[in-house]
Amino acid sequence: MKLSSGYIIVGAYADKIRRTLFAQLRDKIKSKEIDSKTVAKAAADLNKLLYEILVNKLKLDKGDVVRIMIEYEVSDGEIQWNLDSLKIEVFKRVPEEDVKPIIEDAIGRMEELEEVEEAKFEVEKAGETDLGDIVYFVKVDGEFAGALVVTPLNGEAIVRGAIVKPNPVVIEKTRIEIEEDLEETLIRLVEQRGKEVDEETAERIVDEIKEMLE
């Protein structure tokens, strides 16, 4: 089983861990497979470890945000934490007094920022899959930036893919007409239809498309 705290401020993580564990094991407690006191003790033991990590070692403030994930097993009426699986994501709160001057500086440079040239995308055919799909690699300033899959369908095509930079985006399945200059159509699609995602998601999709050529 896996326990995840979700995104929670440091000041509230202990209660969230305890409530989540009890919620996950509610049925086992009702069936007497495990005692509620045992669940409470397991939560307390984990929270002591987390306090040492978050407060004593990382020196996090109560307003900082964390997400805690750990796997565990229930065996013979006991909870066994898989400590090797413990993962903690940390998002530090930036004080308002630090953010305000940055906002003011950016506002003061709006005209300058508007003049910054947008990224120039290029696409080039990388190959075809065994199923007849066409894979295109996307480049920005000559550097690899993402990948697209084009599936031809009777004069049209379905395009999907992802771009890692300059900003990670995913191009969800989109139907296009196959024109003479397909590459220009793909570039417009990348520029106009990208949906912002996290970098990990974009990289995963790109890797999956690359694997289609292997």
Render each residue's pLDDT in the chain as its tens digit; 214 residues.
Answer: 999 999 999 999 999 999 999 999 999 999 999 999 999 999 999 999 999 999 999 999 999 999 999 999 999 999 999 999 999 999 988 888 888 888 888 788 776 656 545 668 888 999 988 888 899 999 988 889 999 999 988 778 899 999 998 888 898 888 887 766 788 888 888 887 678 888 889 999 999 999 888 7
Could you tell me which residues come within 8 angstroms of residue 174 by beta carbon, excluding any fewer than 6 positions away?
158, 159, 160, 189, 193
**How many domains does one find in the chain?**
2
Decide: 35 and 77 in contact? Cβ < 8 Å. Answer: yes
Domain for residue 98, yes or no? no
Domain for residue 112, yes or no? no
Question: What Cα–Cα distance (Å) separates residue 33 from each residue in 21, 52, 107, 170?
Answer: 15, 31, 60, 45
pTM greater than 0.85: no
Diameter over CA atoms, the chain: 71
Closest by CA to 187, choosing from 135, 134, 116, 138, is 138
Query: What pLDDT is stored for residue 135 in this prediction?
Result: 93
Q: Are residues 14 and 86 in the same domain?
A: yes
Query: What pLDDT is stored for residue 116 in this prediction?
Result: 46
Q: Are residues 84 and 126 in the same domain?
A: no
User: Domain containing 68: what range?
Assistant: 2-91
At residue 120, φ and ψ (nearest 5 deg) are -100, 110
Q: Are residues 83 and 142 in the same domain?
A: no
Query: What pLDDT is stored for residue 118 in this prediction?
Result: 62
Question: What Cα–Cα distance (Å) separates residue 8 from each residue in 11, 13, 62, 68, 85?
Answer: 8, 6, 10, 9, 19
Class of residue 163 by CB neighbours under 10 A (exposed 0-12, middle 13-18, buried 19+): buried
Query: What pLDDT is stored for residue 112 in this prediction?
Result: 61
